[in-house]
């Protein structure tokens, strides 16, 4: 690990000022991603500014929705009653991610800002444009079974690993920030970038821009998150999806779908969303929507399996969200979100 100085932030503004003026400085909150990457030598900041103590931990009702402070832990947000009841996709994504210990440490701002799990990114002996711009991409032409189907570039084919981010994208959450150029609101689907020629930049945040809260807008529909992984628990998604449905009587008024594990950012399946609007939910319709969602998928050598997997996952998520099929566990828990493994075996619904 490279040496660094450590500083506890005194205020949000002070944290922004300190990081903004030092190109080698970085924030740290829960530390579960940052410390790991420091140990790997992938991140080599000269200064860490600890924002975990800033008073940004409240979760409150806000404009008919919920405002989640940046420092609320993943556990706190997942079990917050209004979130678990009204935005189950968020709780499901959180509780199906990582482990209890990590969720107790991880913050709501840190989670969507975790870096890719592309194995080459963490291996300093491999070329990786995300870690070392201009060095090449070991995954293209390498073992790329966990890599992207959509929006990849010749520079990088990595996927974004956060489960939470997928749910927040489908719900059109808003990210509140304060940065060197003042405060702003970023629509969650615009937070992450596609790799293009600058894969070292994951998000549109400026250096030193601090997330202060993540806001869930008022939402009267149903939402759900579904995740497939290589083991029953404590693993990243191979593919996942979040669905938010608003109904108008028996018809779908508006559908929002974000796919996880398939792109450099949560991938909004807009063709499928358009196809569902105004329609009566049926399995056939959902099949068509899933086909539309993956029509433009561009598989790499080892990840074509994600196309049928993703399609089937999306069909099931739509069936479960619309109520045509029961959830496999209580809404808002890991058991509703997990495909296979431990799903459907809960004795005491929370």
Partner 1 sequence: MHNLVSALQPGDTVPNGPLPDGSTLFERRGRPIILAFAPTEWDPAQAHQSAIFARLSQEFGSGVAFAEAAPEAWHSLDYRGELAIHLGVAGQRALLLLDEEGVLRWKTVVEPGQDIRPGQVLAALQALRPEPLDAPDLAAASTEVLTGGMSRRTFVMATLAAAALLALPSVVAAAPETALPSPPPTDNRSAMLPVELNINGKSHRLQLDPRTALLDALRENLHLTGTKKGCDHGQCGACTVHLDGHSALSCLTLAVMAQGKAITTIEGLAKGDTLHPVQAAFIKHDAFQCGYCTPGQIMSASALLADQHTRHGSAVEIREAMSGNLCRCAAYPNIIAAIQEAQRA
Which residues of the chain form contacts with ligand SF4 (CB under 6 A)? Answer: 116, 118, 120-121, 128-130, 137-139, 147, 156-158, 199
41 binds, among partner 1, ligand SF4, ligand FAD, none (CB under 5 to 8 A by kind): partner 1
Q: Binding to partner 1 by residue 26, rule CB under 8 A?
A: no
Interacting partner of 38 out of ligand SF4, partner 1, ligand FAD, none (Cβ under 5 to 8 A depending on kind): partner 1
Distance CA 161, CA 25 (A): 24
Report, in Å, the least distance between residue 234 CB and partner 1: 4
Residues 163 and 225: beta-carbon distance below 8 Å: yes
Which of 121/236 has CB closer to ligand SF4?
121
Taking each helix axis from N to C end, the angle separating 306-322 and 283-294, rounded to the nearest 10 degrees, works out to: 140
Among 100, 154, 187, 324, binds partner 1 (CB under 8 A): 100
Task: Give the number of residues in contact with partner 1, rule: CB under 8 A.
Answer: 51
User: Each residue of 38-64: b (16+ CB within 10 Å) or e?
Assistant: beeebbebeebbbbbebebbebeeeee
State how far the Cα of 177 lies from the Cα of 249, in Å rounded to an integer.
37
Residue 81 lies near partner 1 (rule: CB under 8 A): no
Question: What are the strands of the beta sheet with 222-229, ordered from one edge?
Answer: 222-229, 237-248, 251-260, 267-268
Please say which residue, 72 or 118, places its beta carbon nearer to ligand SF4.
118
Rg (CA), the chain: 19
Residue 99 found at the interface with partner 1 (CB under 8 A): yes
Q: Which of these segments, 32-40, 142-150, 179-187, 286-294, binds ligand FAD (CB under 6 A)?
A: 32-40
Q: Distance of CA 313 to CAs 31, 199, 208, 243, 323, Å?
A: 32, 28, 38, 11, 15
According to CB under 6 A, which one of 157, 168, 210, 276 is a site residue for ligand FAD?
210
CA separation for the pair 209, 182 (Å, rounded): 9
Task: Tell which one of 65, 69, 88, 110 touches ligand FAD (CB under 6 A).
Answer: 110
Q: By CB under 8 A, which span of 23-31, 138-146, 152-160, 263-271 interacts with partner 1?
A: 23-31
């Amino acid at each position: 690990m490279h040496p660094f100085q450590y500083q506890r932030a005194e205020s949000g503004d002070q944290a922004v000022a300190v990081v903004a003026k030092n190109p080698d400085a970085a924030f740290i909150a829960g530390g579960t991603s940052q410390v790991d990457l420091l140990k790997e030598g992938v991140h080599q900041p000269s200064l860490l500014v600890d924002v975990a103590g800033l008073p940004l931990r409240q979760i409150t009702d806000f404009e008919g929705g919920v405002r989640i402070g940046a420092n609320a832990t993943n556990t706190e947000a997942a079990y917050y009653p209004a979130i678990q009841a009204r935005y189950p996709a968020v709780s499901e994504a959180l509780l199906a991610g990582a482990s209890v210990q990590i969720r107790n440490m991880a913050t709501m701002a840190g989670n969507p800002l975790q870096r890719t799990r592309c194995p080459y990114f963490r291996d300093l002996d491999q070329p990786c444009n995300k870690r070392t711009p201009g060095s090449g991409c070991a995954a293209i032409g390498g073992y790329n079974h966990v890599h992207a189907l959509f929006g990849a570039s010749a520079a990088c084919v990595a996927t974004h690993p956060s489960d939470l981010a997928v749910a927040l994208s489908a719900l059109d959450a808003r990210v509140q920030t304060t940065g060197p150029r003042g405060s702003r609101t970023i629509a969650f689907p615009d937070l992450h970038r596609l790799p293009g020629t600058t894969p070292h930049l994951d998000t549109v945040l400026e250096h030193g821009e601090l997330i202060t809260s993540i806001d869930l807008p008022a939402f009267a529909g149903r939402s759900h998150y579904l995740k497939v992984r290589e083991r029953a628990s404590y693993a990243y998604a191979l593919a996942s999806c979040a669905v938010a449905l608003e109904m108008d009587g028996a018809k779908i008024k508006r559908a929002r779908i974000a796919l996880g594990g398939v792109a450099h950012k949560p991938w909004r399946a807009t063709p499928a969303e358009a196809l569902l609007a105004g329609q009566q939910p049926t399995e056939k319709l959902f099949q068509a929507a899933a086909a539309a969602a993956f029509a433009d998928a561009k598989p790499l050598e080892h990840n074509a399996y994600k196309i049928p997997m993703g399609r089937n996952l999306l069909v099931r998520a739509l069936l479960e969200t619309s109520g045509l099929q029961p959830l496999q566990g209580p809404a808002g828990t890991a058991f509703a979100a997990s495909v296979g493994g431990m799903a459907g075996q809960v004795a005491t619904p929370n």
